[in-house]
A and B are shown apart, each in its own frame.
Chain A
């Protein structure tokens, strides 16, 4: 039987950090402009796919970059920063290509029906929204919001990975890497789905009225990630 109290005492800081990372991921999803199938048909603002897929893409890219940096450095700041940058690049590239498709392929101007004036550029939006749609494309505010979301998600994912990798264990290094990554992916998916249930699948960014619901998702993620963190640290620490 494993020494639960001993492992807990030794790794309590990592459980706290993983939980924090999970809450950050949960918060980050609220920033990413997700439009689902309506957006794919240019009937709503955002990227035309689901929250989970986007969060997974950004999170896994962040995980890969964080993992690559962890091979050469032990600095938590460097690992977290590289995770954030990786996720930001992934989400930014997805959004710029999506915008090109909307503008040059579908032939619609990026515009949001949720606000009359873009909060960042102050450009008027309502004139350009096609009739019967919720807007289309990715206006500047959604783009900026998405990049912020990518950064937060990448930071969260990198913190989780770093904490799992730092948990004291007798595992061989290569086994630890694989175990820590798959736990991080599992925790990432749980924390990507919880906020997407909170926002009901679509959100434009931080100017969307739904954004105000974030404390509920972060609270739910706190409880869920705490459990996953406990389970993950116990499994890795007990080996």
Chain B
């Protein structure tokens, strides 16, 4: 199945390097800020972790958009699932062995796994996408930071014992897996086509990230270290703003938006 892209690199709007900076730095800083503010001041600050996850999700969606424009031959969702597959392995490894350096160890491990899989995709499988290595590295890193950010929002910390107890052992990790994966793969999948625009795709990523944030907030209602209300309220606000912006961009890019009315009833057709 072709991805339906233009068969070349997607360009335009914000340069990828800026997005890398926002995603990687934002994701890491927010994970640490969420952790230390929660430990130092109070559980209300756990939501900062989810803001980092949104940064990582936007970055991941931008990387998916860039690489999937070449046409992966198998649909866009596969790469999002791959991102979270690599991300979950790397992030749990990083948190388990890294202690306070956990997010950084996880990020580096994810980047290495992503780079190797990118090299394999081009050299062994012969996909021939010039930015495959870089994009896979980016996508794996974004996947790992998404998982860590949402874990911080759910537990208030990235220390492994708490994450294991609240997120992994309870099975909420599966929710993170699907919500984070959807947020990374869905924006380009939903917007692809000849009139795909970067700002519209990335707005979708923010909106999907906000949904993941709300879900993380709901999970936090059962956690002791994190406060649920800030995550849910801020998530809803971000979702509303991003969704309004998205509708606006859809109206901008559409040739014409008209109301067609409801379908005619049977009597009217006679």
Do A231 and B169 touch (CB < 8 A)? no
- Cα-based distance from A238 to B105 in the complex (angstroms): 15
Q: Could you tell me if A194 and B125 are in contact, using CB atoms closer than 8 angstroms?
A: yes
Across-interface contacts of B36 in A (CB, < 8 A)? none
Asked if B33 is at the interface (CB within 8 A of a chain A CB), the reply is no
CB distance from A183 to the nearest CB of B (A): 6
A-B contacts counted at CB < 8 A amount to 138
Chain A count of residues within 8 A CB distance of the other chain: 46
Contacts of B165 in A (CB 8 A): 175
Residue of A nearest to B86 (CB): A190
User: If A175-B169, A193-B79, A193-B81 touch, does A231 touch B89 (CB 8 Å cutoff)?
Assistant: yes
A38 touches B1 (CB 8 A): yes
Complex CA gap A37/B169 in Å reads 36
Contact check, B73 vs A187: say whether CB atoms are below 8 A apart.
no
A77 contacts chain B at the CB level, 8 A cutoff? no
- Please name all residues of chain A whose beta carbon is closer than 8 Å to the beta carbon of B173 when the two chains form the complex: 178, 182
The answer to the question of B164 belonging to the interface, with a C-beta cut-off of 8 Å to chain A, is yes
Cβ-defined contact, B74 with A224, below 8 A: no
Question: Which residues of A, 185-218, contact B by the 8 Å Cβ criterion?
Answer: 185-190, 192-194, 196-202, 216-217
The stretch among B92-100, B207-215, B223-231 that forms the contact with chain A is B92-100
Contact indicator B113/A175 (Cβ below 8 Å): no
What 1/0 flags go to B158-174 for Cβ under 8 Å of A? 00100011001111011
Known contacts A37-B1, A53-B77, A200-B73: does B90 contact A231 (CB below 8 Å)? yes
Residues in B whose Cβ lies below 8 Å from that of A38: 1
Residue count of chain B within 8 Å CB distance of chain A = 42
Tell me whether B96 and A238 are in contact (CB under 8 A). yes
- Determine whether the beta carbon of B86 is less than 8 Å from that of A235: no
Q: Which of A36, A178, A197, A238 contacts B97 (CB 8 A)?
A: A238
Rounded to whole Å, the gap between the CB of A37 and the closest CB of chain B is 5
A174 within 8 A of B: yes
The answer to whether B78 and A52 have CB atoms under 8 Å apart is yes
Q: A189-B82, A220-B120, A220-B124 are in contact. Are A182 and B75 (CB under 8 A)?
A: no
A-B contact pairs, 25 of them (CB 8 A): A2-B97, A36-B75, A50-B75, A52-B74, A52-B78, A52-B82, A178-B173, A179-B92, A182-B92, A185-B177, A189-B82, A190-B85, A190-B89, A190-B117, A193-B82, A197-B72, A197-B73, A216-B126, A224-B113, A227-B112, A228-B113, A231-B93, A231-B109, A234-B93, A239-B160
Given known contacts A196-B74, A197-B127, A224-B120, what 9 new A-B pairs fall within 8 Å (CB)? A186-B89, A201-B74, A216-B125, A217-B125, A219-B124, A224-B116, A231-B89, A231-B109, A236-B96
